[in-house]
Structure 1
């Protein structure tokens, strides 16, 4: 038992004590408060102090490192941001708007809306988005060195994603797309997915007779077939025949959409190479912008779009329905004016303006799909 004094009072301690050697070879007893004996169950029941110590002994606390959680959160955010850019979101938005707009064309009234129709639409949309990610991801896998010059912020070019990660993502989304198509049992949908797969692969894969992006006509044809023909006709047929169970009967709107988007898709195919001239020239990609120059291709694109808008206004003016006539003429007239105004301010010599203008063309592409259902 250890005894020690404080003034006139003396205290005693019946617990264990520690012995320390002092500098003068004298020993002094130090109370080891942290070495209290483990309380028994009986003591826990009769002493509130021991109850607290009992809880501490039987329920150990885990101290989590907040810094580690923050680091994990930052890393996850970076990966999600990299995945977002890996998917090329402007193309995903175009796919979603295009399929949504075209899927409305076979419907004659609100009575056509049902759970079955919604599920059929979601099958088409999900499979198309997955195939879209496959196509743009595959292109990035084979364009890593080019993108280090043209688009150094893309995840594969910047090193945020490894090649293994890119291959895994591309393979996973291809499997998901085809699986959804097979499960749907829709012939038009499967046709659209398979053609997109074949053309997207031929466009990017660097093998003999492939890598069609090297040739302006073949590159434009790939984009035109997918964006203009498949999105319009295949998904329209999927909704009309497979989902609504009606015979194929193309409407005025879907015919117009197909023809108009042929022109618009060609413009996108041509304009997308204008910002990439430096990298394409260095790696032997003979795009039209490399062959003719950026200025000529730019003027060609603007003229094609203005011609398409003029034709759309004339088609709208010939519509027997007054509501459709007003919507089509006003909508395309407004889009044509916005394009003309923006083109006047554009300077092809200023490289910082080229990519924003290219994204502006995509916004016109989105806007067109908002007008098509009203035709």
Structure 2
């Protein structure tokens, strides 16, 4: 009797367990299962391995370590003439409560999509600074207001990722087999419990803040995130390309920017004025997020087509969608240069024009090395766009 075990998401093969030999790496379709070491069952992940594995070397030195820092749980025992490697689990990965807790935390990290959560934290922290006019505004009230915004929006962000994974388990078996609900790291019950806890925390914190702008922002964010994923004749917006783009724009642009800005103004007792910088941030991030949503779907064409999700990439092709999104992003950066150049401040004018020109140049260079038909290449480009977003949250302070 044998068992199979999926490797990390960046590899093209999987591990095959044979009691008389151990584990064999096979170049075939992606699958996932738990493995056994003696009488004990444990989930394992290994790093990417596209080349032949040298049996004389440790598994970690024979394969390229993935960017997600997957845990190295195996060592090489031998290799076959076909380039298959026989490996065994590391001895230090026994089933203990410490390792179980570590695995659950690793699973939650993937479940919450940390790059998106980090973007939310950076975004809220940056926008919260826009209403400040002097050093005196860095008061205890400001920091309390910042936490009041950070916690519910962060919970709402993770909720949006979690509810999407709960609904899309079958699709993710094809597109993203490394996700915790598909891999078995989390059960469906655990997933639902996390979603329920996030929902409660999200609204409890928003209500306790006694801030109308913040509560409205969190409520709209929550509703859009729910409408994006859940099955309902009028919802499931992710299967409707135009509504999917609107959802991403609403989540990352139309809600966080103005509501956090107004919330901090309210906390500091300032008059509620919609400034030039927050107006630019709302428009820029909405356009950027809509493009992010379309690019996010490019690597998922196989699963989306099989389940009838007519995304832009399924309808018009990966290359056309990639090219269109790139042009829209460049147009957004061009507009940012024009807006920055119109500033009355020489410092703001210089930083905004040079900064956006540099970011646009980096975008073009990265796009030239991206293959839209290669899921790994497109996913890497998608993650690169988040780095541009992080940089933009610095530049918005010079759009005055």
Specify if TM > 0.5. Answer: yes
Q: How does 1:322-333 map to 2 (within 5 A)?
A: 322-333=346-357
Residue 157 of structure 1: how far off its partner (Å): 1.3
Of the three residues 286, 297, 303, the one matched with 1:279 is: 303
Matching residue of 1:257: 281
Residue 340 of structure 1: how far off its partner (Å): 1.0
The Cα offsets for residues 13-72 of structure 1, whole Å up to 9 and x where unpaired, read as xxxxxxxxxxxxxxxxxxxxxxxxxxxxxxxxxxxxxxxxxxxxxxxxxxxxxx999722
The Cα offsets for residues 321-347 of structure 1, whole Å up to 9 and x where unpaired, read as 011011101110110111111111222
Conserved in 1, the CA contact under 8 Å of 2:349 and 2:398? Answer: no
Within 2, Cα distance between the matches of 1:327 and 1:340? Answer: 20
SS of match in other structure, 2:298: coil
TM-score normalised according to structure 1 size:
0.80
TM-score normalised according to structure 2 size:
0.75
RCO comparison, higher one (Cα < 8 Å, 6+): 1
The 1:279/1:112 distance shift into structure 2, 3 A limit, reads: same
Of the three residues 140, 145, 155, the one matched with 1:115 is: 140
- When the two chains are superposed, the root-mean-square deviation of aligned CA atoms in Å is 1.4
Asked if 1:191 is matched to 2:195, the reply is no
Higher helix fraction: Structure 1 or Structure 2? 1
Q: How does 1:339-350 map to 2 (within 5 A)?
A: 339-350=363-374
Q: How does 1:227-242 map to 2 (within 5 A)?
A: 227-241=252-266
Within 2, Cα distance between the matches of 1:211 and 1:79? Answer: 29
Residue 207 of structure 1: how far off its partner (Å): 2.3
Asked if 1:267 is matched to 2:301, the reply is no
Of the three residues 227, 233, 237, the one matched with 1:208 is: 233
Conserved in 1, the CA contact under 8 Å of 2:149 and 2:214? Answer: yes
Matching residue of 2:198: 173
Larger Rg: 1
Within 1, Cα distance between the matches of 2:277 and 2:271? Answer: 17
Within 2, Cα distance between the matches of 1:350 and 1:137? Answer: 26
The Cα offsets for residues 162-203 of structure 1, whole Å up to 9 and x where unpaired, read as 000000000001100100001000001100111111111111
Which 5+ residue runs of structure 1 have no aligned equivalent?
Answer: 1-66
Which 5+ residue runs of structure 2 have no aligned equivalent?
Answer: 1-91
Within 2, Cα distance between the matches of 1:206 and 1:68? Answer: 39
Asked if 1:152 is matched to 2:156, the reply is no
Within 1, Cα distance between the matches of 2:197 and 2:115? Answer: 21
Within 2, Cα distance between the matches of 1:212 and 1:68? Answer: 42
Matching residue of 1:34: none
SS of match in other structure, 1:275: helix
Asked if 1:72 is matched to 2:97, the reply is yes
Matching residue of 1:307: 331
Asked if 1:94 is matched to 2:128, the reply is no
Asked if 1:163 is matched to 2:202, the reply is no
Within 1, Cα distance between the matches of 2:115 and 2:127? Answer: 18
Within 2, Cα distance between the matches of 1:213 and 1:225? Answer: 13
Within 1, Cα distance between the matches of 2:202 and 2:376? Answer: 36
Within 2, Cα distance between the matches of 1:336 and 1:280? Answer: 30
Matching residue of 1:18: none
Matching residue of 2:8: none
Within 1, Cα distance between the matches of 2:93 and 2:104? Answer: 17
The Cα offsets for residues 307-329 of structure 1, whole Å up to 9 and x where unpaired, read as 11111111111111011011101
Matching residue of 2:384: 360
